[in-house]
Structures are given as C-alpha cells and as structure tokens.
Amino acid sequence: MQGRSPQLSMELNRLLFLTSFLLHFEGHASPTRLICDNRLIQKYIEEAKDMEKKAGQCQALPTLSCPAVLPLVDFSLQQWKSKSRETKRREILCDLALLVGAVAGAQSQVTEECGAWQLSQLYRRTNSFLLLLQTFSWKEGPWEPGCSPHSMEQTHITSIFLTYRQLVQGKLHFFFHDLAKDSCKQGQEGGRDPR
C-alpha cells in the first residue's frame, strides 16, 4: 500500500522487532514480566554462565587474528546509582552494540563447530537485548549510534563470553531492577508474580 507513511512503517517495524524478541525470549513474556519477574533475569544470568562454560570446553578454539574490541563493563555501583535511567540505558546500548560487533567479527574467524555454535547463540542473545533496549524506551527518543564506550582488544574468544556474562550480571541486572521499582508497584500489591 502506497498510503502508508514512512514514520508509520518504521514504528510498525519496531513493534515487529519487539514482538519477535519477546517471542524468542520467553514464549508469552511481556516487557513488564521481563522486568517484574526477577526469575527471568536470573535465568539469563545462568544462561550466560552456561554459555561461557560451554565455550571454554570447546576444543581448538583459535586465537583471533583480528582482535575483538570489547566494552569494559566493570562499574561502581555507587556511580551507577547516581546516573539517570536514560544514561544507564544508553551506556548499556553502547556496550551491547560493541559486543554484537565483537561476536560477529569472531564468528567470521571461527570454523570449528562447537565454537561456531556457541558464538551464534551469543550473537542471538546479545542482539536480542540490543533490540529490546532500543525499542523499550523509545518514547524518550530513538537511540543514536556513535557512542564510544571504554573498550579493550582481546584475542581470546572466551573473553567475549566473559564480557557478556559480566554485562548481564552487572549493568543489565541492575538496570532491570531499577525499572522494576516503578513498573512493578501495582503488580506487587496484588501478589509477587502477576500473570
């Protein structure tokens, strides 16, 4: 149909991305459930640990000839708490964008089946979180690439999995916890895990 405006098409695409992300993540999950049900973020933390462990067990993982540029995801909880919610979101988006690029670069250098499989799993998960956070708070304005997070170069593939686990356990976990304080008040009044 020619009558559809480009803006409407863009919003429909964003909605489609969010819907497909949520279906991929939890079957019947909603954004509120992702934030309010603490078991979900715990599940993703355990999944990140499992991916890191399995990648470490892969035989003959090559050293990357083109180093992966990884975000430095360590942070001070006190400094983190002092940042605005939008600043936190944009910082995590920068970290995820760099991580997605690192995983994609590593995928092009790994042909061994075990490592390639683990990297494809990691790519799907990091890209899904990136899409969620780009879409989740879009009322505050679209995310614009171009941020420059602190980064380091690594030639070991296991470092990519380590960085992802630290990001999920740290910034993402605390960000969802922060969102839950506002978004989940009504649900907590009627029970801890509304369905």
DSSP states of 74-110 as a string? Answer: ---HHHHHHS-HHHHHHHHHHHHHHHHHHHHHHHTT-
Please report which confidence band the pLDDT of residue 195 belongs to, taking 50, 70 and 90 as the band edges: very low
pLDDT at 194 over 60: no
pLDDT at 170 over 90: yes
Q: What is the pLDDT of residues 68-120, one digit of tens each?
A: 999 999 889 899 989 988 889 889 999 999 999 999 999 999 988 999 999 99
Element housing 70 (H / E) = strand 68-71
Q: What is the pLDDT of residues 17-74, one digit of tens each?
A: 554 544 444 443 455 666 777 788 889 999 999 999 999 999 878 899 999 999 999 8
pLDDT at 191 over 50: no
| C-alpha pair distances (Å), 38 with each of 28, 101, 178, 179 | 16, 28, 12, 12
Residue 129: CB atoms within 10 Å: 24
pLDDT at 14 over 60: no
Distance CA 149, CA 98 (A): 8
> Which residues lie across from 151 on neighbouring strands?
71
Q: Which DSSP state fits 154?
A: E
Start-end of H helices in 137-156: none
